[in-house]
Structure 1
Amino acid sequence: MRQRLFNLMFCHLGNGISVANKAREVAGDYEKVAHISAQRDVTWYADDVPVDTRREVDRFAATTHPQISTTQQQKVFSTPPTTGYVTVATSITGDEQMSEFMNASLSVLDDGTALSIAVRPPEGFSAETDAELVAKIKAAFHGLSAQGWAVEVQAGPNSREN
């Protein structure tokens, strides 16, 4: 499946950061992709946002500390930035996860050490909606992201038939 083009624009319009896609216009304006609240929470408006684009928005929300404008020194976000973040992509089938994500846990450290991390949810873990799933996963990995770890999660039906 071919992913559509995203050219992100981040702008402050008075209540956090609005994220738009300059590669697509809707009703004469750039497509609204997401909003980042003053508390750094991301609300998504588009469902078909590729994982790398979601990662870019999540990283911006967690790690930047922009001013309102060049003449207004106040910060947009009410909480300090971190070096870590949690990205959760939903609606990705098990088959897609295996082919695109299976080696994502392998990292090579500065000293040359190869590091792999496997995490499995606890028995009985479930969520009724994608929003609930994202909230639960972000809460579970909050401690790691606060310490600078970059956590990326993909979720979706086990196969296309589900």
Structure 2
Amino acid sequence: MIIKAAVTTLLLLIIHTADAGTYCYRCVSTHPGCSTPFNWYWHTGQWCPEEDDICVKITERKGPIEVITRDCLSAVKPFRTDIPADRYEGCRFASKDVKLAHYVNNSIAELDIRRDHFDETTWCFCYFDWWCNSGFSNIPSKFLVGTIFMLVKYLLH
């Protein structure tokens, strides 16, 4: 009886925290395990600061060089001006900011104040599932669904 009450309380806490916010991976491909074969064992997800936040995966390419950034949208909004206007589920190319660094007279080419170093920038948005910005694998969320299913099955028997 006590075990069933504890399991029920744990299940209610999981369901309550699921509505509290978004849980996303937050890393850059220079970190170990954060590049193209994403290794979710190395990176635990983190809560996003805003309640109605969206997970993003930003892929920037120039020739063979690829930089992948996984984060919450509210964390990259202050310094990225190439966020697409359409932020629904899926991937799309970055928008162009024609006024970026227009009034800056800077002769240091390494600063990249116009953000035109990368040839191709793709933004992928997801908000229907936790840890959804890992790429193509949603193993942790399947693990969570499986755990909840097993707890419900245990409560019913």
Give the TM-score normalised by structure 1: 0.22
Greater per-residue helix proportion? 2
- From the CA coordinates, give the structure whose radius of gyration is larger: 2
Q: Which has the higher contact order (CA 8 A, sep 6+)?
A: 2
Give the TM-score normalised by structure 2: 0.23
